[in-house]
Structure 1
Amino acid sequence: MHEMMQVGSKKWQNLIYEGAKNLDIEIDKRKTEKFAIHAIELMKWNQKTNLTAITDPFEIAVKHFLDSIVPVKIIPSNASLLDIGTGGGFPGIPLKIILPSLSVTMIDASRKKVSFLKHIIRTLELKNTDALHIRAEEFANKPGVKKKFDVIISRALSSMTSFAMTALPFLNKEGAIIAMRGNVSCDDFQLLRSSVNKRQAILLDGDTEAFEISVKRYSLPYLKSDRSMVSLKKVQGSVFKVQG
């Protein structure tokens, strides 16, 4: 049983620091302080707006913040990142805090959640960071967004395959799609592979796409909670593999 603590307290920040170290991710005091501000504001706004069902300080630290930063090692510096269905800003804002050179666009279908995100962006003075109240399907019709992003990421996915198909139009030539979720079964993986193959077969604009699909399995610090990070990366030639 974890000990009681307040969201954003020194004890809470130390939990983040030690958890990041466990994930082999460097984080300094200034960044844990920004995480704390995000978490405190999340809890304040959550009293009147449904931003998250997770309200326990320990679980907020681990399931929201530490889980959000797991992909940092596969995201290039200066990348343009699109976070689809970001909710309270996860993983977009923690990733921006850890990797300040990122250009981050977060989209969500909830106006109240986007209002919160704009407040956090202002409060933390996050540059090259935006939050938009729009669905991914509508966003795809906006001028200039197709094939714009280096990384498309989501933790809010009911179906890994449907997320991948939604994300593909936004992905640039050498980009990657990252889906973060609970354990991925062989059936999930095969369905994803089959859907990508079908998409390759029906492309009509003469473009060619090939993807390396990999799965990294990990456990969150402090919890016996199995998670999976599935990435699709555009490559030359068609390659499918499972890692981890």
Structure 2
Amino acid sequence: MDSIQQSFTSRLQEHGIKLNETQLDQFEMYFKELVSWNEKMNLTGITEREPVYTKHFYDSISLAFFMDMDKIKTLADIGSGAGFPGIPLKICYPDLQLTIIDSLNKRISFLKNIVEKLNLTGVELIHGRAEEWGQKQGYRDHFDLVTARAVAKLALLNEWCLPFVRVDGTFAAMKGSDPTEEVKEATYSFKQLKGKLSKVEQFTLPVEEAERHIVFVQKRAATPQKYPRSPGVAAKAPLI
């Protein structure tokens, strides 16, 4: 274990997350594949090893600092991109049933490669739009936890993500800067989509000390059938 891995494991241990040798090997393989594939397609602007471990891996796992992940059986990651936060959480919690939905097929191809190289099981990778899959039986009102990291503003994310959450489940929107204004703007969408703001957690990334926020939303009732609306509608006319 080198210094970067040592810092990574120590910081996670402070939050009660212990990684074994297999999991550390998986993170290292993930890093190498990310950098390799990034030469062929635009997956991330961050390719240096320490920043990947901090800004992608640690940041993704931070969701588990504020939730009891042992109680989460099903997780959906919407607009996952290069697999964040879904894949790092899956590595830490191998029993999670993970579903990733992304609209770009080449990113799904990258994720299929990652799942294969890391020998991950219980992962479903879907090339498609959240608006379409949020209407499908077996996905709608189904997941214990749904998350999206740095994808869009909260009013828009609510319509994309809350339909996937089971009643009494949680939607967690992972944000960088202070989301106070976004939360205010999203008040109407909470009401329409049967979500209730639960809490907003703030923490600081190690090394560069950048602020991070996670908005937690509880699903109070089944999503009305008219949501999510057809692809593209929410982006043009968000519920605000």
Displacement of 1:56: 1.7
1:162 counterpart (156, 159, 180): 156
1:61 counterpart (33, 53, 56): 53
The question of 1:97 aligning with 2:91 is answered: yes
> Which residue does 1:42 correspond to in 2?
34
Structure 1 distance, partners of 2:63, 2:195, is: 22
- The unaligned stretches of length 5 or more in structure 2 are 222-240
Secondary structure of the corresponding residue to residue 93 of structure 1: helix
> Which residue does 2:105 correspond to in 1?
111
Displacement of 1:10: 2.9
1:51 counterpart (43, 46, 57): 43
The question of 1:121 aligning with 2:121 is answered: no
Structure 2 distance, partners of 1:47, 1:25, is: 32
Displacement of 1:141: 3.3
**Number of residue pairs matched by the alignment:** 219
Displacement of 1:213: 2.4
Closer/same/farther in 2, CA of residues 143 and 56 from structure 1, 3 Å limit: same
Displacement of 1:124: 1.3
Q: Deviations over 1:65-101 (max 9, x none)?
A: 0000011241343521110111111110110111111
- The unaligned stretches of length 5 or more in structure 1 are 1-8, 201-208, 237-244
Closer/same/farther in 2, CA of residues 147 and 81 from structure 1, 3 Å limit: same
Which aligned pairs between 1:211-222 and structure 2 lie closer than 5 A?
A: 211-222=196-207
Secondary structure of the corresponding residue to residue 26 of structure 1: coil
Displacement of 1:22: 4.3
Mean alpha-carbon deviation: is it higher for 13-22 or for 171-180?
Answer: 13-22
Structure 2 distance, partners of 1:90, 1:83, is: 8
> Which residue does 2:224 correspond to in 1?
none
User: Scaled by the length of structure 2, what TM-score is found?
Assistant: 0.84
> Which residue does 1:203 correspond to in 2?
none
Matched letter for residue 118 of structure 1:
K
> Which residue does 2:132 correspond to in 1?
138
The question of 1:30 aligning with 2:22 is answered: yes
User: Structure 1 residue runs of 4+, over 6 Å off?
Assistant: none
Displacement of 1:156: 3.2
